[in-house]
């Protein structure tokens, strides 16, 4: 993989510093070869996800079932804080857990696996990491709102605005770019006076449903999420479990986008 390919991959994963991030954006705007390389990288990641999904439909080999059945169960490990892992590590871990979960159900009376969380599960993983950051909470801080909306809007291919949530004592801190299910995701970060971080994340998707909004609330990995889809976009507001007014925050955000 060439140096520019490595930098494009890091750019896609939101791992570049401000200077390198700006350099890559300049190249993407002015260099057709870099643009084609970035598009090829996006296509490759989407294909990899598709191939991974196809693997999940394969039956569990009988020999593997026998090996798992004959292997003594290890003591349950003490829960640790989430760690940043490469995307391929996450995919491999997910595949192992799916095989173990499916086989365990076969051996223990066909117990149903836990429901998947889709892109919201990835948002919860990101929030667990970034919400604890101080200096690196965002890629672009709140002093550059025009740049944030233009950059994220161009990357997502949809209009981006920054909702005013000051009525809930939330101060806009800045934004960053995430990737979930091989799609770019905008993340706008807000902070309460006590330091609690609340994020508004969104991506292209859903249906152009006009002003109709159907809010769904769920908890994932210690966070509460309120999600909805409208105007061809999927949106979610995420904060710690039990945060008051999260539904009202989501409602206010939805009317400002």
112 falls within a domain: no
pLDDT in tens, 43-90: 787 777 766 666 666 666 656 666 676 676 666 555 555 444 445 455
Q: Token match 């196809």: residue?
A: 54
132 falls within a domain: no
pLDDT in tens, 225-256: 999 998 789 999 999 999 999 999 999 999 98
pLDDT in tens, 49-60: 766 666 666 666
List helix spans (H) across 131-241.
145-156
131 falls within a domain: no
Cβ-based neighbours of 125, under 8 Å, separated by 6 or more: 82, 221
Whether residues 7 and 67 fall in one domain: no
Look at the chain and report how many structural domains it folds into.
Answer: 3
Q: How many residues does the chain have?
A: 257
Whether residues 98 and 166 fall in one domain: no
Q: Tell me which residue range forms the domain holding 23.
A: 3-54
173 falls within a domain: yes
122 falls within a domain: no
- Sequence-distant contacts of 84-88: CB under 8 A, at least 24 apart: 84/129, 87/13
Whether residues 85 and 171 fall in one domain: no
Q: Token match 């409602």: residue?
A: 251
Largest CA distance in the chain: 60
116 falls within a domain: no
């Amino acid at each position: 993989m060439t140096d520019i390919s490595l930098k494009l991959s890091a750019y896609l994963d939101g791992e570049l510093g401000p200077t390198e991030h700006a350099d890559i954006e300049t190249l993407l705007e002015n260099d057709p070869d870099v643009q084609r390389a970035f598009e090829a990288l996006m296509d490759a990641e989407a294909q990899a996800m598709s191939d991974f999904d196809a693997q999940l439909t394969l039956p569990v080999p009988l020999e593997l079932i026998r090996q798992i059945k004959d292997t003594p169960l290890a003591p349950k490990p003490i829960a640790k804080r989430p760690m940043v892992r490469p995307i391929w590590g996450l995919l491999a871990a997910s595949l192992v857990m799916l095989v173990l979960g499916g086989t365990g159900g076969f051996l223990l009376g066909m117990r149903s696996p836990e429901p998947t969380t889709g892109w919201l599960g990835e948002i919860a993983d990101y929030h667990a990491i970034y919400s604890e950051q101080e200096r690196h909470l965002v890629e672009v801080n709140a002093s550059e709102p025009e740049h944030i909306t233009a950059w994220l809007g161009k990357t997502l291919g949809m209009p981006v605005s920054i909702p005013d949530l000051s009525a809930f004592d939330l101060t806009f801190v800045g934004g960053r770019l995430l990737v979930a299910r091989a799609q770019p995701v905008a993340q706008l970060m807000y902070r309460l006076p006590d330091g609690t971080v609340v994020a508004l994340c969104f991506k292209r998707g859903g249906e152009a449903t006009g002003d109709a909004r159907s809010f769904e609330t769920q908890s994932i990995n210690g966070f509460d999420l309120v999600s909805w889809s409208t105007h061809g976009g999927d949106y979610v507001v995420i904060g710690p479990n039990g945060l008051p007014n999260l539904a009202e925050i989501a409602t206010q955000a939805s009317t400002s986008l």
